[in-house]
Amino acid sequence: MVLPPDMEDRIRRLALQNAVEHSGTARPGPVLARLLASAPELRPHGRELEGLVGTVVAEVVAWSSADQAAALARLGGPAPERSARPRSETGTFPPLPGAVKGHVVLRMAPFPSGSLHIGNARMIFVNEHYRREYDGKLLLVFDDTVGSEEKRIDAELFDVILRDIATAGVTPDEVLYKSDRIERHYPWARRVIEAGKAYVCRCPPITLRERRAQGLACPERAQSPGESLDLWERMLSGGFAPGEAVLRLRTDLADPDPAFRDRVLFRISDLDHPRVGHRYRVWPLLEFSWAVDDVELGVTHVLRGKDLVMEDRMESYLWDVLGVRGPPFIHWGLLRVREAKISKSKSYAEVKSGLYDGWNDPRTWSIGSLARRGITTEALERFTLSFGLSLADIEVPAETLYAENRGVIDATTSRRAFVARPIRVDVDGYPEGLTTVELANHPDRPELGRRRVRAGPSFYLARADVEPRLGSEVRLKDLLNLRLPDGPLDPATEAIHAVFTGRENRKIPRLQWVAAADAVAVDLLGLEGEHTLGLAEAAVGAARPFDHLQFERVGFVRVEADWTPGTTPVRVCFGHP
């Protein structure tokens, strides 16, 4: 065939994209598959293109990661068919009230007590959706005001959250920390006191709760602004110990919501902060800090879950007191994946104890754990945005997410044979000369090519497939038929004999198999943290970290990022069926 003049650049762009996505490594197979998927007219010439693709890939992998990224940028960035960030096909995203293109400022505000999980994906992708829509700015502001003894800030989690957001494919325009802004809040507190809307409360917490529930005023509530300012200065200068005094907002003691009556604005804490140590003893609560920072940072719209309505009320009340105008609030409902049992406190305890394999353990359902399982950014974003900005709480099965991911990775993912808890089967009467068989890498994608696989006379089959079929005739998928011996099977038995019965493709149970001659050991990490040991065909041993594979009759897996190529067992993480 006569190649188009830009063919080499097209291949180089795809090779660079593959390398950037996989930490500097690239493989000819996926590059060729992407090329043919983007240009179906080239599919009849796939074999002719293999040599050129191999040459270009070899050139690209010899470059440094920085040179790869720079070269990809010069060629226009990632190829459109893979990088175009999908918009929701079914979700509705109304215009932001009063928004002006180029002047929208949004913010994400995670508290660093755990990794971001699938439930936080809405925060990431909805904010990113509107940033793109309005060509705006997106701030990442860590809500790292001092927590409690039970909910402490962990220094490690700043980096974990930054990685989670990067894994989601989002780059904030600016990263800020509340702990760097604490002193900026004190003058605003003074303004609230001077307006007669805050006072220093020294009541025991239990006394205050009882009086507030009855709509009775705290005795300290009668302070004049001058008295409150003096006590406030004592708080700042160390005149009170933690728990001895707080700054409270004066609200209506008859408010229908007891929780809104005279809420705390500042408290004293001697806890060690991982970023600023003991620099501050008087810390704002989140509602006050956001009433200040949403104004000072120029936030134009606050997008967050509808469970934060109390924060809305507090901010609005404080803005009225201060005589400033703040941004409008736009809410979404809770999005829950049925199978995802998420608890940040439980995950924190299990990660710190070593029971979980870090924050990317599949049981955390963190953004990082989803990537580890091979859930792509494209699929996670499409899944999240498909629900729009609905205020309704939504619960969906995980299959909804998995279906999106299959739509992204299936066409470029090669099939491979794997058997769990294997038992060796030696076939009597095995056909002479049947040493290999040619199999398609994908049943519906000829452009992914074919592979030659070693055959018998000895195979490994999954014990779970063999035990219920003892004494029956079965077919080794795409190869031959055999009759298994009569049972029962002793649990300690490692090998059995079967009898060859023919090669015709008949309607009998089909079993997955791996040739005993070149089987590769595999360690498969499951969704509940369990490890399943098994054997796979030889081609799995040639995989690279981050590769997607589909283990036939098992599901999609991703090769672990920290697995060393060429070593066994090959370590993979289960993604989904």
- What's the CA dihedral at 533, 538, 540, 542 to 10 degrees? 130
The helix (H) or strand (E) run that includes residue 311 is helix 309-322
The residues, any chain, with a CB within 8 Å of residue 6's CB and separated by 6 or more, are none
| pLDDT for position 88 | 37
- What's the CA dihedral at 306, 310, 312, 315 to 10 degrees? -160
Residue 518 is given by DSSP the state G
> What burial letters (b/e) apply to 180-196, b meaning 16+ CB within 10 Å?
ebbeebeebbbebbeee
Domains 344-412 and 413-577 share a fold: no
- Could you say which residues of the chain have pLDDT below 70? 1-2, 22-23, 33, 36-47, 79-90, 147-151
The domain defined by 344-412 folds into Glutamyl-tRNA Synthetase; domain 2 (1.10.1160)
d(CA 547, CA 194): 62
| pLDDT for position 84 | 35
- Residue 130: which of 111, 164, 107 has the closest Cα? 107
Three-class secondary structure of residue 315 per DSSP = helix
| pLDDT for position 23 | 57
**Chosen CATH of 87-332 out of 3.10.20.30, 3.30.70.20, 3.20.20.450, 3.40.50.620:** 3.40.50.620
| pLDDT for position 90 | 43
| pLDDT for position 410 | 95
| pLDDT for position 5 | 72
Tell me which CATH code domain 413-577 carries.
2.40.240.10
Check if the beta carbon of residue 432 is closer than 8 Å to that of residue 455: no
| pLDDT for position 22 | 65
Where are the domains positioned within the chain? Answer: 7-83, 87-332, 344-412, 413-577
| pLDDT for position 289 | 95
| pLDDT for position 382 | 94
Q: For tokens 């980096």, what's the residue?
A: 159
Does the bond joining 397 to the residue before it have cis omega, within 30 degrees of 0?
no
In the chain, the N- to C-terminal Cα span, in Å, equals 39
Most distant pair of Cα atoms in the chain: their distance: 101
458, β-bridge pairs: 426
Helices 28-38/46-61 angle, 10° precision = 130
pLDDT tens for 52-92 read 888 898 898 888 877 888 888 888 777 654 333 333 344 78
